[in-house]
């Protein structure tokens, strides 16, 4: 299935239920699972495990975005990404998202069949990335970020201005608006208080832009700060935060712990229906 068809199929599911994006890092230095899934067979096995546990899409990234990360060249990023990405796509396990800020990496990934480009630069990085999305028909996640935390910043106002600029760039490049998804960028240049606001910002963003919202809270540092928990012991805090984000209107949840989220969302949905 090509990128456009895969994206159309995935986007049609938004709103039917909380969608789970399973995280598959093929990096040596990601903050939570660096080095665990760098080889194709390990990546494929983990992707299959997440899909069986309830993941609706697999997000594969080959460059860490943790605080203090070391940027890598496009050649190094593709060398890490190509074989695991191809293996997961050949397995036809689930739709695939590629987590990259580089147009060349995105172009190669969608050529293999990736359905979504997940851009943590929010179209404020590589100016050609929007063109790749437009030409391929892939869905595009635009994430808000700040260069550094500023406690005086009105984070909702800042997100509105940031997304307005990003969406103008997407429109200029020819990206179909119905293929855009917003991510408030929890953990990217925000204080703990701003992260709490961003985690519950889906309703405000939908009112402002009328687009679906992806949220990425899994094992984030602000959860550790609130709970006093190390990275690998933040599942309970992550579930609490994601349920609050779900109640606030978020549509897609980027998580490490797929089975636990699938169970929590099923119970939450049943309680809401009751």
Looking at residue 65, its pLDDT comes to: 72
Structure tokens at 70: 């070391």
**Which residue in the block uniquely carries the two structure tokens 């697999």?**
58
Decide if 57 contacts 255 (C-beta within 8 A).
no
First to last CA, the chain: 38
Q: Does position 60 have pLDDT exceeding 50, yes or no?
A: yes
Going by C-alpha positions, the residue among 24, 20, 19 that lies closest to residue 45 is: 24
The tally of domains found in the chain comes to 1
Residue 150's φ and ψ, nearest 5 degrees, are -135, 110
Looking at residue 71, its pLDDT comes to: 78
Q: For the purposes of burial, counting CB atoms within 10 Å of the CB of 232, is it exposed (0-12), middle (13-18) or buried (19 or more)?
A: exposed
Is 254 assigned a catalytic role? yes
Q: Which DSSP state fits 101?
A: S
Decide if 57 contacts 96 (C-beta within 8 A).
yes
Q: What is the pLDDT of residues 66-111, one digit of tens each?
A: 665 567 899 999 999 999 999 999 999 999 999 999 999 999 999 9
The 3-state secondary structure of 221-257 reads HHHHHHHCCCHHHCHHHHHHHHHHHHHCCCCEEEECC
Task: Please state which of the ranges 76-80, 152-156, 212-216, 249-253 shows the lowest mean pLDDT.
Answer: 76-80
Structure tokens at 15: 């709103």
Distance CA 190, CA 72 (A): 24
Residue 214: in which H helix or E strand, if any?
strand 214-215
Q: Does position 272 have pLDDT exceeding 50, yes or no?
A: yes
Question: Of 80, 160, 200, 254, which residue is the catalytic one?
Answer: 254
Q: What is the pLDDT of residues 22-58, one digit of tens each?
A: 999 998 754 454 456 667 888 899 999 999 999 999 9
Decide if 116 contacts 138 (C-beta within 8 A).
yes
Task: Please state which of the ranges 36-40, 187-191, 230-234 shows the lowest mean pLDDT.
Answer: 36-40
Looking at residue 27, its pLDDT comes to: 83
Supply the pTM of this predicted model.
Answer: 0.94
Helix orientation angle between 235-247 and 192-199, rounded to the nearest 10 degrees: 50
Is 200 assigned a catalytic role? no
Enumerate the β-bridge partners of residue 69.
Answer: none
Looking at residue 152, its pLDDT comes to: 97
Average pLDDT, the chain: 93
Helix orientation angle between 129-136 and 103-112, rounded to the nearest 10 degrees: 20
Structure tokens at 83: 């074989």
What is the arithmetic mean of pLDDT over 105-124? Answer: 97
Looking at residue 230, its pLDDT comes to: 92
Q: What is the pLDDT of residues 192-225, one digit of tens each?
A: 999 999 999 999 999 999 999 999 999 999 999 9
Domain that holds residue 221: 3-273
Decide if 19 contacts 252 (C-beta within 8 A).
yes
Looking at residue 31, its pLDDT comes to: 47
Decide if 140 contacts 179 (C-beta within 8 A).
yes
Question: Of 80, 219, 220, 234, which residue is the catalytic one?
Answer: 220
**CATH classification at residue 111:** 3.20.20.20
Decide if 202 contacts 178 (C-beta within 8 A).
no
């Amino acid at each position: 299935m090509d990128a456009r068809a895969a994206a159309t199929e995935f986007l049609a599911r938004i709103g039917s239920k909380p969608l789970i994006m399973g995280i598959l890092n093929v990096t040596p230095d990601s903050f939570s699972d660096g080095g665990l899934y760098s080889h194709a067979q390990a990546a494929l096995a983990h992707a299959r495990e997440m899909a069986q546990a309830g993941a609706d899409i697999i997000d594969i990234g080959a460059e860490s975005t943790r605080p203090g990360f070391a940027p890598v060249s496009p050649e190094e990023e593709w060398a890490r990404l190509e074989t695991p990405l191809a293996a997961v796509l050949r397995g036809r396990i689930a739709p695939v998202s590629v987590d990259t800020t580089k147009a060349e990496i995105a172009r190669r990934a969608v050529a293999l069949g990736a359905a979504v480009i997940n851009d943590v630069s929010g179209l404020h990085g590589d100016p050609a990335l929007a063109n790749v999305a437009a030409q391929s028909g892939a869905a595009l996640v635009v994430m808000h970020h700040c260069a550094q935390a500023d406690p005086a910043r009105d984070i909702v106002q800042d997100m509105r201005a940031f997304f307005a600029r990003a969406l103008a760039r997407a429109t200029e490049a020819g990206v179909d608006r119905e293929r855009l998804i917003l991510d408030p960028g929890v953990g990217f240049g925000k204080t703990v208080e701003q992260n709490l606001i961003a985690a519950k910002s889906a309703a405000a963003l939908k009112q402002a832009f009328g687009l679906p919202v992806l949220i990425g809270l899994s094992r984030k540092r602000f959860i550790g700060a609130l709970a006093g928990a190390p990275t690998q012991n933040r599942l309970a805090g992550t579930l609490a935060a994601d349920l609050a984000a779900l109640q606030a209107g978020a549509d897609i949840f980027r998580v490490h712990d797929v089975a636990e989220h699938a169970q929590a969302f099923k119970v939450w949905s049943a309680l809401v229906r009751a």
